[in-house]
Amino acid sequence: MVIGMQPAPTEPADPTRLTVERYFGLVDEGVLEPDDRVELLEGVVVAMPPRNPPHDTGITLAADALHEAVGRRAVIRVQCSLVLGRFSAPEPDVAVVAGTARDYATAHPNAALLVVEVADSSLPQDRLTKSRLYAAVGVPEYWIVNLRDGCVEVHREPNVAARRYRSVAKARAGERLELVTLPGASVAVADLLPDR
């Protein structure tokens, strides 16, 4: 060992997680392209799975059903960024956010009334990482349209401190889901599920 040399630090001097600002800066710098299929989760740039017809159909069905149910009471955003704290900017398949579309002309929303993820290959990440992320910021309701099992997993009552939802249930065709934050707005589960 050379005298005067120090061992490498076990903890990096700079944070290794990307901030939301740095993440969006990667597009401006040309490191990421605007149409790259990635999102920022807990400070890590994560690739989204390739799209397939059932997934795309599920997104369209969810957006259409929510547009019909919600009307002009809120905004339905499809695969748009949602800034959740300093280190996360997921792109949920569908998000219901307060206000009007013009409210987000200069900044992404930082809260949602409902988030919907359509899941087949992404099911583990949607159940674990995204569920914890949405609960941690108090999203009141999170639905996973589970294409594998033909159901909707309904997560409600976020426990922000524990980063989890207190209530998790499965809804199937024949049932209706009423949005927690928009009483009177409801969606038939069958309208969210593509034909198998």
Per the confidence metrics, is the pTM higher than 0.75? yes
Is 179's pLDDT higher than 70?
Answer: yes
Helix (H) or strand (E) holding 171: strand 164-171
What residues does 44 pair with on adjacent strands? 41
User: Which pair of tokens denotes residue 159?
Assistant: 């426990």
3-state secondary structure 102-166: HHHCCCCCCCCCEEEEEECCCHHHHHHHHHHHHHHCCCCEEEEEECCCCEEEEEEEEECCCCEEE
Query: What is the rounded average pLDDT of the residues 16-36?
Result: 91
Is 10's pLDDT higher than 90?
Answer: no
Given this structure, which CATH class describes domain 50-192? alpha beta
* Distance (Å) of CA 177 to CA 48, 71, 191: 27, 16, 11
Is 9's pLDDT higher than 50?
Answer: no
Is 36's pLDDT higher than 60?
Answer: yes
Mean pLDDT of the chain: 91
Is 12's pLDDT higher than 60?
Answer: no
Is 82:95 a contact under the CB 8 Å cutoff?
yes
Query: What is the rounded average pLDDT of the residues 53-78?
Result: 97
Report the alpha-carbon distance of residue 80 to residue 73 in Å, rounded. 19
Query: What is the rounded average pLDDT of the residues 159-170?
Result: 98
Query: What is the rounded average pLDDT of the residues 64-81?
Result: 97
Tell me which amino acid residue 168 is.
V
Is 175's pLDDT higher than 80?
Answer: yes
Is 51's pLDDT higher than 90?
Answer: no
The pLDDT, as a whole number, for residue 50 is 85
Is 102's pLDDT higher than 70?
Answer: yes
Is 5's pLDDT higher than 60?
Answer: no
Report the alpha-carbon distance of residue 178 to residue 64 in Å, rounded. 15
| Percent of the chain predicted with pLDDT > 70 | 92
The pLDDT, as a whole number, for residue 15 is 59
The band of 162, judged by pLDDT with boundaries at 50, 70 and 90, is very high
Is 69:186 a contact under the CB 8 Å cutoff?
yes
- Closest C-alpha among 86, 134, 85, 87 to residue 114: 134
Report the alpha-carbon distance of residue 109 to residue 148 in Å, rounded. 30
SS3 content of the chain, % helix, strand, coil (to 5): 25, 25, 50
The pLDDT, as a whole number, for residue 6 is 43
Residue indicated by tokens 């955003």 = 77
Between 9 and 17, where is the model more confident? Answer: 17
The pLDDT, as a whole number, for residue 136 is 97
